[in-house]
Amino acid sequence: MITINMAKAREVLRNHLRAERTPFLKEKDFEFMRAVEASDASLQRDIVEEKQKLRDLPQNPAIEEAKDLDELIACWPPELGPNPFLPRSSEAS
């Protein structure tokens, strides 16, 4: 029987979340600077909130609450794109 080390699996997921969110944070930095240049305070606030949501992804309580690997895999946020822990469908030849 294979036993999953859930503590390690949670850390692996959190590390992937951190890595995958990085380009999104960089893009938001760029968008924020454009909003500053345009003196658009409303857009600046929106971007700050979006960036905070990205920063908070690894602290999602569902990650710690996951009782098995399937529940943990389901914690992948769709805003980061396809879940790298799910099997990819093979392309038709």
The three-class DSSP label of residue 23 is helix
Q: Is the pLDDT of residue 91 over 60?
A: no
Contact assessment for residue 85 and residue 77, using Cβ atoms and an 8 Å cutoff: no
pLDDT tens, residue by residue, 27-58? 999 999 999 999 999 999 999 999 999 999 99
Tally of residues, the chain: 93
Give the pLDDT score at 8. 97
Q: Is the pLDDT of residue 19 over 90?
A: yes
Please name the amino acid found at residue 51. K
Alpha carbon of 71 to those of 9, 26, 65, 66, 89: distances in Å? 11, 29, 9, 5, 20
Band (88; pLDDT cuts 50, 70, 90): confident
Give the pLDDT score at 93. 45
Domain ranges of the chain: 6-76
Average pLDDT, the chain: 93
Q: How far apart are CA 39 and CA 36, in angstroms?
A: 5
Q: Is the pLDDT of residue 1 over 50?
A: yes
